[in-house]
Copies of this chain bind each other. A is one copy, B any other.
């Protein structure tokens, strides 16, 4: 089984919103062993939508369509599907009752526009949407199986998870098809070429397949196994994942969607440690990334955004002498900031970031991208100097990630060493 993903909406083809649904659906289907052969986006236009549906059906047995199910006159996915199938739209009594109940709870009557959301091509299977007012539906069209979901990402994802995923699993089991299973391991602190050089000798053949992707400084290691059964593929991947972990050591911090921040918070929590931040050029980014993880309050105490030099002095106690002699972007300043944040917040560990995010502020000896990181704690006083690539936003992001990694390594009691090939 192969899949094509179709997004409907002029807001997508005009570039006003990013089509994140297609990437999410492809990743989800791949975990089921369903490969995507095509992404298409078409505007809210009958002819373009019809051509997109036909083209998708010519490339895959399963077509997932997102968007165009809303209540406005622009939303014509239902009409186009019915036209293409040569059947009329019919009102679904169950969907009408369900919509009436939703509107009654809001103290409103069901409008004509909203009634349209309960109309489906004759013969379609209606799919409930517990998270919005647009039900989905499923039907055969142009000799492919079409699944229609809402365009709102969380409604789309929940509907696919609740309805399409189990259906595909049932279908594959019934057909006795082989399985494709994918696992992703995440690695921070090593370049992609280094990860490749370390892992390639362990995976000489096509099975399991090894692939890499870099996302925001994290090297994602993808392992794909094709086998007669999901169990066989999973067994192959268990062995492969163990090899990857053994080879990359602590640089491999977690699996799947797990973030470096989550791994860091878990490492701190497991040892009963707390953390604070002292940020100059990142302006609070490291703190915000930690705080984004639910339950961060178990370990995160807070910190100081010391953007101006006199804030570094006043709130972190950085000696004026260091700022004059070494400058704010220096090892001495980073170390003093970390110590100051630890003192001010009472955290077990504090991490500091000071650097030149650009585009201005560089000097002959301190180029854009130069960042000093330091972590301080009981018996811990570590410093790292890095030269980061990219524009201001990217330098800030990589600096914040580097600081979080420094905290993770300190929490785990690790030094700076990395595996060698």
- A residues near B (Cβ < 8 Å) are 7, 11-20, 22-27, 30, 35-43, 45, 48, 51-52, 55, 58-59, 213, 215, 220, 222, 277, 279-292, 294-297, 300-308, 310-311, 314-315, 344-346, 357-361, 392-393, 396
With CB as the reference atom, state the residue of chain B lying closest to A41: B39
Question: What is the copy number of this chain in the assembly?
Answer: 2
Return the contact of A360 from the options B55, B279, B294, B393 (Cβ within 8 A): B294
**CB <8 Å contact, B40 and A48:** no
A15-B153 Cα distance, complex, nearest whole Å: 14
A392-B296 Cα distance, complex, nearest whole Å: 12
Return the contact of A310 from the options B30, B43, B288, B346 (Cβ within 8 A): B346
Q: Known: A25-B15, A38-B13, A52-B38. Is A284-B307 also a contact (CB below 8 A)?
A: no
With CB as the reference atom, state the residue of chain B lying closest to A285: B288
Q: Known: A18-B18, A311-B302. Is A359-B291 also a contact (CB below 8 A)?
A: no
Q: In the complex, which residues of chain B have a beta carbon less than 8 angstroms from the beta carbon of A392?
A: 292, 294
**CB <8 Å contact, B36 and A14:** yes
Q: Known: A302-B304, A304-B305. Is A41-B15 also a contact (CB below 8 A)?
A: no
**CB <8 Å contact, A16 and B220:** yes
**29 A-B interface contacts by CB (under 8 A):** A11-B213, A13-B37, A16-B27, A17-B213, A18-B18, A19-B39, A38-B40, A39-B40, A40-B41, A51-B59, A280-B302, A282-B288, A283-B288, A283-B296, A284-B286, A284-B288, A284-B291, A287-B307, A292-B392, A294-B359, A294-B360, A296-B307, A297-B308, A300-B308, A301-B308, A302-B305, A302-B308, A302-B311, A315-B345
A188-B17 Cα distance, complex, nearest whole Å: 18
Q: In the complex, which residues of chain B have a beta carbon less than 8 angstroms from the beta carbon of A361?
A: 297
